[in-house]
């Protein structure tokens, strides 16, 4: 199941229910400490791990201490330093040989402004880790960050990774917390009992899709798995059509057809997809598709008016799922859709701002509200507001918060890959999940592929991302 997004008060109530049920604080801390151990080992330099644990008085300091003890006891070459920080005026140790700093100074219970000395200590820590490019792992919450408001209590540790426990705290997922939280990961299984109920916001995790793809029947054929049509590509932007088509195929869809004004360069780069030059007669061919993607690379000067007209007509009238991205978003704004039709739009903050006639900053300041407004403008469509922790939802109802993805997706073409991947999954005839669950799954896979690559390399391109998507799906 997805996880609830909770407040500090809800977390404290959850802990109290756990202690009342007879589970000990030590049992929970041992689970959390073990998770910190695993995460620290995955981040630290494999060949020469040297880890500095900064430990405060709270429970997250206890979690960090357990991890340090586990690593110290192992018969490996980890060089473990433990600094119990009670006097924040003391000097930081030499960090030049450190491959990871684990921040366990303050937890979610911090309810006061930090003193000037603590702000200075955290400032010196941030300066040193940034200058020396040392990754920082925050335990539960970056020290000094308010886990409810997302605001520093005078100063906050700038973490590259935050490992939080039980469920995400509301202050960790907001846009203004990103520079402190870094990549957020949740460890749900730490012996806590009777979790809070799901609310409006829900954290999507890998277990939600464990049995998502059904086993393929021995008698199945390509028609069993759907046919996605992709209207994409124009002069100067033909690569978008290629990326979308390859990403669509990576969903396991049976057939992929591309309809494009840029026929020659698109056809030259695709092998398994059928490529059609654009003309008004493609409508009949499109009608055979079980889902349609519209928009990638349709920003060139040679996009004919007939293509726009067909796109709007499909949006208004087709009973099949339709995904709209990029330039085509403005074509379908305020257009009606058939009752119960599946429609998906995938704006980034800039595109959402244009639809809402506002600024990207305003969109980012309240992403949930912006996502709901975009959905309303687009006829109630399922909306994927892309960005850190992409949002998936509609003008009302639950909102899924994607847990995967990283800044390496901030490159031209990654949105085209996502649009095609979404379209491929929505075209499949063999899936029994609700459309919004299919969308959430595709968004999760797109980000998970990026996370997989980033765990091995600090730089990669979309060809590599596609290669992961093309080989990493359940048959």
The alpha-helical segments, DSSP class H, found in 186-273 are: 238-249, 263-269
pLDDT of residue 78: 64
**With 50 as the cut, is the pLDDT of residue 53 above it?**
yes
Q: How sure is the predictor about 85, in pLDDT bands with cuts at 50, 70 and 90?
A: confident
DSSP 20-58: HTT--HHHHHHHHHHHHHHHHHHHS-SSS-EEEEEE-SS
Contacts of 169 (CB under 8 A, 6+ apart): 5, 6, 7, 8, 11, 108, 141, 147, 148
pLDDT of residue 363: 97
Instruction: Return the residue matching tokens 């939600």.
Output: 208
Nearest to 98 by CA among 146, 54, 144: 54
Percent of the chain with pLDDT over 70: 98
Strand, coil or helix: 424 = helix
pLDDT of residue 224: 79
CB 287 within 8 A of CB 256: no
Q: Is 13 left (phi over 0), alpha (psi -120 to 50) or beta?
A: alpha
Q: Rounded CA gap, 432 and 216, in Å?
A: 13
Residue 466, both tokens: 């596609």
Q: Rounded CA gap, 260 and 248, in Å?
A: 16
Instruction: Return the residue matching tokens 């061919």.
Output: 285
**With 90 as the cut, is the pLDDT of residue 217 above it?**
no
Residue range 458-471: mean pLDDT, rounded: 88
Q: Rounded CA gap, 189 and 157, in Å?
A: 26
Q: Is 387 left (phi over 0), alpha (psi -120 to 50) or beta?
A: left
Q: What is the pLDDT of residues 354-368, one digit of tens each?
A: 999 999 999 999 999
In the beta sheet, which residues pair with residue 152?
A: 145
Comparison of pLDDT for 216 and 173, the residue scoring more: 173
pLDDT of residue 74: 77
Instruction: Return the residue matching tokens 């200590």.
Output: 121
The domains found in the chain, sorted by start residue, are 3-197 (3.40.50.10260), 222-471 (3.40.1190.20)
Secondary structure letter of residue 332 according to DSSP: H
Q: How sure is the predictor about 475, in pLDDT bands with cuts at 50, 70 and 90?
A: very low
Residue range 21-46: mean pLDDT, rounded: 92
Burial of 388 (0-12, 13-18, 19+ CB in 10 A): buried
Q: Rounded CA gap, 383 and 423, in Å?
A: 14
């Amino acid at each position: 199941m997805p996880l609830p997004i909770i407040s500090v008060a809800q977390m404290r109530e959850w802990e109290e229910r756990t202690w009342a049920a007879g589970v000990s604080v030590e049992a929970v801390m041992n689970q959390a400490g073990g998770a910190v151990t695993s995460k620290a080992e995955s981040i630290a330099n494999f060949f020469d791990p040297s880890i500095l644990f900064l430990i405060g008085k709270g429970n997250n300091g206890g979690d960090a201490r357990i991890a340090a003890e586990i690593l110290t006891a192992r018969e490996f070459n980890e060089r473990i330093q433990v600094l119990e920080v009670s006097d924040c005026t003391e000097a930081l140790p030499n960090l030049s040989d450190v491959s990871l700093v684990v921040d366990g100074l303050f937890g979610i219970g911090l309810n006061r402004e930090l003193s000037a000395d603590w702000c200075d200590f955290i400032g010196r820590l941030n300066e040193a880790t940034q200058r020396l490019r040392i990754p920082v792992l925050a335990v539960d919450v970056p020290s000094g960050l308010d886990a409810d408001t997302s605001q520093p209590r005078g100063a906050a540790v700038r973490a590259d990774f935050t490992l939080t426990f039980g469920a995400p705290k509301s202050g960790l997922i907001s846009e203004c917390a990103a520079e402190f939280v870094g990549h957020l990961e949740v460890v749900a299984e730490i012996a806590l009992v009777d979790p809070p109920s799901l609310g409006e916001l829900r954290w999507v995790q890998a277990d939600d899709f464990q049995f998502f793809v059904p086993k393929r029947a021995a008698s199945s054929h390509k028609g069993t798995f759907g046919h996605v049509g992709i209207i994409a590509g124009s002069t100067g932007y033909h690569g978008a059509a290629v990326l979308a088509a390859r990403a669509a195929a990576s969903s396991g869809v049976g057939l992929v057809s591309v309809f494009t004004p840029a026929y020659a360069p698109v056809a030259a780069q695709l092998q398994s997809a059928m490529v059609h030059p654009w003309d008004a007669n493609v409508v009949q061919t499109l009608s055979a598709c079980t889902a349609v993607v519209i928009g990638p690379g349709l920003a060139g000067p040679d996009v004919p008016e007939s293509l726009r007209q067909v796109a709007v007509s499909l949006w208004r009238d087709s009973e099949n799922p339709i995904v709209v991205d990029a330039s085509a978003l403005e074509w379908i704004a305020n257009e009606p859709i058939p009752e119960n039709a599946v429609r998906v739009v995938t704006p980034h903050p800039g595109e959402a701002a244009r639809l809402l006639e506002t600024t990207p900053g305003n969109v980012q300041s309240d992403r949930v509200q912006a996502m709901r407004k975009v959905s309303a403008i687009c006829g109630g469509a399922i909306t994927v507001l892309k960005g850190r922790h992409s949002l998936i939802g509609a003008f009302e109802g639950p909102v899924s918060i994607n847990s995967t993805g990283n800044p390496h997706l901030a490159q031209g073409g990654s949105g085209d890959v996502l649009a095609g991947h979404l379209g491929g999954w929505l075209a499949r005839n063999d899936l029994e999940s609700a459309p919004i669950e299919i969308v959430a799954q595709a968004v999760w896979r797109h980000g998970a592929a990026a996370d997989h690559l980033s765990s091995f390399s600090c730089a990669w391109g979309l060809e590599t991302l596609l290669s992961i998507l093309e080989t990493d799906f359940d048959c």
